[in-house]
A and B are shown apart, each in its own frame.
Chain A
Amino acid sequence: MSDNTTNEVPGHGPLPDGGLETSADIAGHSGPVPEATVAQLKPFGETAALAVGVAGWFIPGMGHALQRMWGRALACFLTVGLLMFVGAKMRGNLFSSGGNDAFDSLGYIADLGTGSFYFVAKSLEKEGPDVSHADGDYGTRFLATAGVLNLLAALHAYEAARGRKG
């Protein structure tokens, strides 16, 4: 786990949202880069970083919360949650594993991207999907977008845990 409790990189000042500076940021900074700073870019081991990514996928925002990036954690949780809620309330199509074609399978993968929220969306859609109207079609896109956005956030959390992103 990170021991960087002050969210501060020596010589670079405090960073908002608990983010560590990236090597690219440091490279753009004038003066030599201290070794300690580079070492702090990898606060997690590979296995722990993978666990952070999986946690971020299963519970949107959890991957960032584990790294004390509270703003990003809250933003991920709320945006993925809102997209999922609106999509379900618009009666979008939530794909299941028994798809008929490749598009159904891709839709299922996208929907599964929301992690545990997939089951929340299932419980919200008591009357099932209705894509005979534009609302249902938009809802389907909202649900898929929520999943893909959460996958992106989980990947970001994983990369941040490996020290590749700030």
Chain B
Amino acid sequence: MVEFGLKLSHLQAMLLFAVVISIAFGFLGRRRPADRVKYIIWSLFLFLLIGVGIGWAMYPFSR
């Protein structure tokens, strides 16, 4: 059997991480469906904003 390795780009890995953690936080942190959806979207937005922000903050040191 051929073992397949999963190849994800930096952005894909960050997106996957942010989506999965946001969903988990939303379900654990809120009870009502509407509150969960709002929490998941807000959490996902902050994950991506801070992730991209930190990426840009490190840009001057990458070369």
A-side residues, CB < 8 A to B, are 15-17, 19, 71-72, 75-76, 79-80, 82-83, 86, 89-91, 126-127, 130, 134-135, 138-139, 141-142, 145, 149, 152-153, 156, 166
Interface size on B, residues (CB 8 A): 19
- Interface members, chain B 6-22 (any A CB < 8 Å): 6-8, 10, 13, 16-17, 20-21
B-side residues, CB < 8 A to A, are 3-8, 10, 13, 16-17, 20-21, 23-24, 27-28, 31-33
Compute the total of residue contacts between A and B using a CB distance below 8 Å.
59
Question: Beyond A127-B3, A135-B7, A138-B8, is A16–B33 a contact (Cβ under 8 Å)?
Answer: yes
Minimum CB–CB distance for A94 against chain B, Å: 15
| CB-defined contacts of B17 to chain A, threshold 8 Å | 83, 141-142, 145
- Select which of A16, A82, A139, A152 is within 8 A of B31 by beta carbon: A16
